[in-house]
Structure 1
Amino acid sequence: MVTTKRAPRGSLTKDRIVTAAIDLLDREGLDALTVRRLATELQVRPMALYNHVNGKADILAAVAEEMTSRLDLPDAATAGADGLRAVFRSYFRLLVEHPVLLQLNDTLEQANPAELRVSERAYAIMRQAGLEPRDAVGLLAGMVRFTIGCALLYPHRHAWDDDPGHWDRTREAIMALPAGEYPELRAMGADLPIFTQEDAFEFGLDVFLARLGP
């Protein structure tokens, strides 16, 4: 009979639980995470986890906070547009590397403390730049939605960046469209600029951050 080796008594901590949960979520997605499965990953009995967490919802909230806390937050007094750009670059990269975070945000009932700190710092940067409250709220909401959208598209479209023939085929498809029905597309098609996924993201950031001024 094969028995599973248990972790040493007292070795389990909330940090270990969160780290194991992130690893499991990255490998197998949100549906794979249960208290029983996580206990198996940690080589402990399921009830041992309840000494540190209150259940699956508590684990997911802790995972979201840990992931979001990895974002570097610049000093609001000196950050300006470059600092806000750095925050959203980091956020985009976090979502690309841990796409399950996009699903986690839909399951949580309220913002985690780390997410609130990001919003607080972003608003501070905008207010320091002179934006009125309505403009600051609209700008942050737009940038968050844009970043999430780019991250959602990334898994399906980043292969374009590694395909040397992608843009040639795209140009050919555009130039094959009826000129009378699609004159503007045809006009651009012959000299269509190449945009990688990162290029498109950076272009969008430029548009949003123009609201902060020079």
Structure 2
Amino acid sequence: MTDLNERPARAPRGPLSRQRVLHAALLLADQAGVDSLSMRRLAGELGVVPMALYKHVANKEELLDGMVDAIIQEIAPPPPGLPWKEAVRVRVLSARTTLRQHPWARRVIETRTSKTPAVLDYMDSFTGIFLAGGLSADLTHHALHALGGRMWGFTQELFDEPAAAEQAAHVPPDVQLAMIRQMARLYPNIAAVAAPGAHDGGTVVAYGCDDQFEFEFALDLLLDGIEQLHAQGWTSPRSLPPGE
């Protein structure tokens, strides 16, 4: 992780524009963290007075919206001609790859209260993959609910404790072993299912879990289930005629 005191690389010089402002904001957030982002600091990185920024973004909320839009534009669409299930998978994993390059983005996306045209375009194209594959609007509606944040490349996991994992990395091995043994005595079922897990030092799911594998495992379960419902001609109870 970059030291917050480390000065981020400056954005390329040139005439001030909305695109240049957003590019500089992305650089600053990627290298110093989104909490370090302020209009004053961003102006300093661009070599302008803070008031100059307001010609291109009305306030910090609009700046964050623009940053989300810029990230969405980095998400590669699936190649044309893929079956719907494979196209959705490619799209989701592309979004995940993009968000991993901007670790702060998940929190910002989750806090957005308005949907910009770029966000709506992405949602529309994502939804269109299902409809073009022959899935009904009814099944597509429920499939999107099931996928949730996976559309954007992230999900809320059961064991989402990156801070705890970082702390554990500084605990001496003998102390860690004693803690694990104590946990196994107190919570044997959790220990039984945690033990077979693969290891990934960069995980954000849980200490010792393979983050990418867990994400893809859950994604494939969902897509397989949606595919089966589609093959069965499934319809939700709310869309059935009264009395059926």
TM-score bucket (shorter structure): 0.7 to 0.9
Bigger RCO of structures 1 and 2 (CA < 8 A, at least 6 apart): 1
Does the aligned pair in 1 maintain the 2:184–2:190 contact within 8 Å? no
Q: Please give the alpha-carbon distance, in whole angstroms, between the structure 2 residues aligned to 1:62 and 1:190.
A: 40
Other-structure match for 2:59: 55
Does the aligned pair in 2 maintain the 1:154–1:197 contact within 8 Å? no
Name the CA shift for 1:119/1:174 in 2 (closer, same or farther; >3 Å).
farther
Deviations 1:50-104 (A, max 9, x none): 2222222221111110001111123676441111101111222222221222222
Kindly indicate whether residue 211 of structure 2 is the aligned counterpart of residue 207 of structure 1: no
Kindly indicate whether residue 126 of structure 2 is the aligned counterpart of residue 122 of structure 1: yes
Does the aligned pair in 2 maintain the 1:21–1:63 contact within 8 Å? yes
TM-score of the aligned structures, taking structure 2 as reference length: 0.65
- For structure 1, which runs of at least 5 residues remain unmatched after alignment? 1-6
Give the aligned residue type for 1:42: L
Name the CA shift for 1:156/1:10 in 2 (closer, same or farther; >3 Å).
closer
Does the aligned pair in 2 maintain the 1:64–1:112 contact within 8 Å? no
Other-structure match for 2:102: 98
TM-score of the aligned structures, taking structure 1 as reference length: 0.72
Give the aligned residue type for 1:31: D
Other-structure match for 2:25: 21
Deviations 1:4-43 (A, max 9, x none): xxx9x97211111101101111233333222211110101
Identity of aligned residues (%): 27
Name the CA shift for 1:78/1:47 in 2 (closer, same or farther; >3 Å).
same
Q: Please give the alpha-carbon distance, in whole angstroms, between the structure 2 residues aligned to 1:128 and 1:108.
A: 29
Give the helix-richer structure, 1 or 2.
1
Give the aligned residue type for 1:59: L
Matched position secondary structure for 2:220: helix
Q: Please give the alpha-carbon distance, in whole angstroms, between the structure 2 residues aligned to 1:62 and 1:26.
A: 15
Give me the CA root mean square deviation: 3.6
